[in-house]
């Protein structure tokens, strides 16, 4: 029996953790999971709804850390997490993705000599101004088992000198959630509630500090959206950070005056999946949405200068447009002029809905515990 702490902290973690927790529940003789929520995200719309939609069990522990500067938030998680690791003495701690909770919990385990498995290891944007890139690089350096979503990630890790025996290509666990929830998402009323019915529409998500914390970049994006709404309405489930910045920068009226631009509350997983899967176009600065649109065969315009998910560009659904107004408009027009062909889908290897089981197999294969302080 392996005792495994699974760490979830922020919104993009929940859809990665859910299939792992569910797979462990299916193998009760082999796994004793403990689900820990760091509390990095805490609003019902950013956390609670996702637990319900993804049928995640209540966390065994909520560290309740909340929002703060990166240093304070990361330090708070480290301090709150350490006693649990010491008292539970897990065989493994599983961390996912690239948020502050990921590096904070990995660091605690590395110092205690507790084995860390990093799910979604090896992705690199090569942009160290992104906090997530720092979290990725550091987590991968200290994790014992690096579970990668795509072969480019394996190459990145090998290039950084990580021994191949620590790397395991398992596929994309977020796609497990996507595929297993598509049917349920059809029951959502999100599209009808917004009066979209069968109309063409675009979905926008935007929350990166580099895009939303400065008036100049937000204005450039709003200018592009104004132009794109001439062709189709845009639904924007706004991250709390973005809504706050739009207010603080005095841009609320500017945003509300864009005809066909619907700024709504953050959507839950199933509502968002329905909106996403029916969209004609997606504009985003998220990482995960670049991958979800690849599997759904929907054109995605990434409002960033780079991506840690190059496979989505190779497959052809994703276009890195940056944040210049003219480039965004050009990319949107190009995508809208091209007929949507969901029949010619190309799915990256092992994005097949079975990644969680491969993760569990990998946990079983490695020796259960390294020599550490907690043993």
- Give the interface with ligand UD1 as residue ranges (CB under 6 A): 10-12, 40-43, 46-47, 67, 98-100, 131-132, 207, 239-241, 244
Tell me how far, at minimum, the Cβ of 80 lies from ligand UD1, in Å: 15
Name the residue nearer to ligand UD1 (CB basis): 24 or 119: 119
SS (H, E, C) 81-125: HHHHHHHHCCCEEEEECCCHHHHHHHHHHHHHCCCEEEECCCCCC
Q: How far is CA 125 from the centre of its chain?
A: 14
Name the residue nearer to ligand UD1 (CB basis): 24 or 282: 282
Pull the structure tokens for residue 178. 């996507």
Cα-based angle 45, 49, 52 (whole degrees, multiple of 5) = 175
Cα-based angle 307, 311, 312 (whole degrees, multiple of 5) = 70
Spatial distance between the Cα atoms of 73 and 65, rounded to a whole number of angstroms: 7
Name the residue nearer to ligand UD1 (CB basis): 104 or 196: 104
Spatial distance between the Cα atoms of 345 and 161, rounded to a whole number of angstroms: 34
Tell me how far, at minimum, the Cβ of 73 lies from ligand UD1, in Å: 6
Name the residue nearer to ligand UD1 (CB basis): 211 or 274: 211
Contact 237, 276 (CB under 8 A): no
Tell me how far, at minimum, the Cβ of 43 lies from ligand UD1, in Å: 4
Name the residue nearer to ligand UD1 (CB basis): 41 or 220: 41
Name the residue nearer to ligand UD1 (CB basis): 115 or 239: 239
Tell me how far, at minimum, the Cβ of 100 lies from ligand UD1, in Å: 4
Tell me how far, at minimum, the Cβ of 124 lies from ligand UD1, in Å: 15
Spatial distance between the Cα atoms of 48 and 3, rounded to a whole number of angstroms: 25
Tell me how far, at minimum, the Cβ of 212 lies from ligand UD1, in Å: 9
Among 37, 118, 207, 239, the one annotated catalytic: 207
Name the residue nearer to ligand UD1 (CB basis): 30 or 44: 44
Instruction: State yes or no: is 70 an active-site residue.
Output: no
Q: How far is CA 17 from the centre of its chain?
A: 11
Q: How far apart are the first and last CA of the chain?
A: 16
Tell me how far, at minimum, the Cβ of 68 lies from ligand UD1, in Å: 7
Give exposure, 225-256, as e/b (b: 16+ Cβ within 10 Å).
bbebbebbbbbbbbbeebbebbeebebeeebe
For residues 125, 292, 243, 136, the Cα torsion angle rounded to the nearest 10 degrees is: -30
Q: How distant, in Å, are the alpha carbons of 23, 68, 89, 213 from that of 29?
A: 12, 40, 18, 48
Which residues are tagged catalytic? 207
């Amino acid at each position: 029996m392996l005792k495994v702490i699974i760490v979830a902290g922020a919104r993009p973690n929940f859809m990665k953790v859910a299939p792992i927790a569910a797979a462990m529940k299916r193998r009760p003789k082999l796994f004793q999971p403990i689900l820990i929520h760091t509390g990095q995200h805490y609003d019902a719309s950013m956390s609670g709804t996702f637990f319900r939609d993804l049928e995640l069990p209540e966390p065994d522990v909520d560290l309740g850390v909340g929002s703060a500067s990166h240093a304070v938030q990361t330090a708070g998680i480290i301090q709150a997490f350490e006693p649990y690791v010491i008292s539970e003495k897990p065989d493994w701690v599983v961390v996912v993705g690239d948020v502050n909770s990921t590096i904070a919990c990995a660091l605690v385990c590395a110092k205690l000599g507790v084995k860390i498995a990093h799910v979604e290891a090896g992705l690199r944007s090569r942009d160290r101004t992104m906090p997530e890139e720092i979290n990725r690089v550091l987590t991968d350096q200290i994790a014992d088992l690096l579970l990668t979503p795509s072969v480019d990630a394996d190459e990145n890790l090998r290039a950084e000198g990580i021994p191949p025996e620590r790397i395991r290509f398992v596929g994309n666990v977020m796609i497990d959630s996507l595929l297993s929830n598509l049917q349920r998402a059809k029951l959502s009323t999100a599209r009808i509630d917004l009066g979209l019915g069968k109309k063409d529409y675009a979905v926008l998500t935007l929350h990166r500090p580099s895009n939303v914390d400065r008036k100049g970049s937000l204005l450039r994006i709003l200018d592009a959206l104004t132009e794109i709404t001439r062709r189709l309405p845009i639904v924007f489930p706004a991250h709390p950070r973005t809504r706050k910045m739009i207010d603080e920068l005095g841009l609320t009226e500017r945003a509300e005056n864009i005809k066909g631009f619907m700024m709504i509350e953050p959507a839950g997983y199933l509502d968002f999946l329905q909106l996403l899967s029916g969209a004609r176009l997606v504009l985003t600065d998220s990482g995960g949405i670049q991958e979800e649109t690849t599997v759904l065969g929907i054109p995605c315009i990434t409002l960033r200068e780079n991506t840690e998910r190059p496979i989505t560009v190779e497959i052809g659904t994703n276009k890195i447009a940056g944040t210049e107004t003219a480039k965004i408009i050009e990319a949107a027009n190009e995508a809208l002029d091209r007929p949507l062909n969901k029949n010619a889908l190309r799915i990256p290897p092992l994005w097949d809905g079975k990644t969680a089981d491969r993760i569990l197999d990998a946990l079983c294969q490695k020796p259960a515990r390294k020599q550490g302080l907690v043993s």
